[in-house]
Amino acid sequence: MSPIDLKAYLVLGAILFGLGLVGFLTRRNMIIMFLSAELMLQGVAVDFLAFGRFRGNWQGQSFVLFILTVAACEAAIAMGLVYTLYRLKNSLDSGKWSDLREEGLDSPDDLEGAWAPAEKPDYPVLPLAGIKPQSGEETSHV
């Protein structure tokens, strides 16, 4: 691989990384934010592959396998986390989560009250089955 080819791949990686960074910094939807962060990781993976090819050894490619594995772990946690957060506030907007902040600052949630929260759709409900748990046993920690 010539340095010219390497440059092309690095530019591709940089574009992916930059798009991810811009997406992460400007979006408020938590799923989009996570996907943007993943895009940054994939941009780095392209860099790794290009460098590995340029240097003529396997270390870059093997590193990419580890990046993919770690990204999968993070995706698993992210989906669980975003799902619980959605259940708690009924919104995917990250700006809704602003209870923890410096004293005396206004809420950064500038969209507060801009629109009414959507009505909960009529989800089908599963009938109760099995043994009823004893009261007090089932506690929520959140």
Partner 1 sequence: MDNSIPMELLKFLSPEGTLFLLASLILLIGPFFREKVSWPLVSLIGFLVSYLLLLMQAGTASPGDNPYASVVLGGTLSNLIRHFSLGAGIFLLFLFWDRDRFQPETVGLLMILAGGSSMVGMANDLTVLYLGLELVTIPSYILLYCHGDSNSAESTMKYFFLSILSSAFLLLGIAFLYGLTGTTNIAAISDALLLADPAKLFGADALAAHRLLLIPILGILAGLGFKISMVPFHFYAPDVYQGAGYRMSAVLATMPKIAGFAGLIRIFAFALDHGGPAPTDFARDNIPVLFWILAFISITLGNLLALLQRNIRRIMAYSSIAHTGYILAAFAVASKAAPDSAFTGLSAAMFYLIVYFFSTFGIFAILHYLEQGRKPIRDWDDLAGTSKDNPVLAVALAIFLFSLTGIPLTGGFLAKFAIVYCCANVPFTLDDPVSWESHYLFILLALVIVLNAAVAAWYYLKLISGIFLKPVIWLEDKSYSFKPVLIPILASLLITVVLGIYPSLLLKPKAYQELIEKRPIAQGAGIHGPFQLADGKQ
Chosen residue from 32, 54, 91, 92 binding partner 1 by CB under 8 A: 54
Phi/psi of residue 41, each to 5°?
A: -60, -40
12 vs 24, beta carbon nearer partner 1: 24
The residue length of the chain stands at 142
Cα 137 to chain centroid, rounded:
33
Applying CB under 8 A, does 56 fall inside the site for partner 1? yes
- Please give the residues from 59 up to 88 whose contact with partner 1 meets the rule CB under 8 A: 59-60, 62-63, 66-67, 70, 73-74, 77-78, 81, 84-85, 88
Q: Which of 76, 102, 9 is nearest to 47 (CA)?
A: 9
> Segment 83-142, which members bind partner 1 (CB under 8 A)?
84-85, 88, 94, 97-103, 139, 141-142
Cα distance from N-terminal residue to C-terminal residue, the chain: 54
With binding defined as CB under 8 A, does residue 26 bind partner 1?
A: no
